Amino acid sequence: MQSWNPQQSYAPMLDEKEILPILIIGAAAETGNLSRYLQADGYPVEAIEESEHGIALALSGQYRLAIFDLPFTFLNGLEALRRVRRQSLLPVLILSAEENDMERVMALELGADDYLTKPILPPELTARIRTILRRANTGVSVFSTLVKARGLELNRSDYRVKYRNEEILLTTLEFELLEYLVKKTGQIISRDELMQQVLGRQLSPNDRSVDVHISNLRKKLSATGACKIKAIRGVGYTFLLT
């Protein structure tokens, strides 16, 4: 990593008393550098060498984000990720010592929230962390083919939607609309954007296709009580967790 001037901040300073720390798991020398970088930017950090204890800590519920600084020697990094993901939706950022496209794809498919190859510029690292934490704060977790928002699960591999293990039958287009909205939870999405990004065409005057599909989708989701699609008059829609 390149040197970083602690006087130059790339993230808003955070109140350590109000947030959970970031857990860094990896070799002592590397985790020490990462700790200093993140602490200089206001993040509370706890670093530990990779071990069974490190995985147990990741599963403890006492951290807001885990950074796996690969390579691991005691454990296989992807296996460690698999074990965490079986029991927890804790956001995980993978840092790899070498360019490895296969490992990157596998990590993302196993549920890593992001994957970066070292050396990494500190501003990019903190920018990626902020993005992961913003998404985590919405209650939405996005994996390779799976999107989770509290009890709601969208699985692109078979286009199934479940709420607390009960299936919600959607058309393919309704699934695409819901997935797009869930990934942008809390954001106001225009009808024009939904038309272009999901239906694949430009919005034309008096075209109410998006509104009809959203209306059907809202009816199907109403029974869950866990979320809603709110209409923003004259603009579009927003997905909210309730």
The residue ranges of every structural domain in the chain are 22-137, 146-241
> Has residue 18 got a pLDDT over 60?
no
CB 125 within 8 A of CB 116: yes
Span 97-145, pLDDT tens digits: 888 888 888 888 787 888 999 888 888 899 889 888 877 776 676 666 7
Q: Using N-to-C axis directions, what is the helix angle for 28-40 and 122-137, rounded to 10°? A: 70
Same fold, 22-137 and 146-241: no
Topology, domain 22-137: Rossmann fold (3.40.50)
Span 223-234, pLDDT tens digits: 787 788 999 988
195/173 Cα distance (integer angstroms): 11
Best-predicted range by mean pLDDT among 67-71, 164-168, 203-207?
Answer: 67-71
What pTM was computed for the model?
0.58
Average pLDDT for 181-197: 90
User: Which DSSP category does 172 fall into?
Assistant: H
CATH 1.10.10.10 fits 146-241, yes or no: yes
Closest CA to 194 of 229, 146, 162, 163: 229
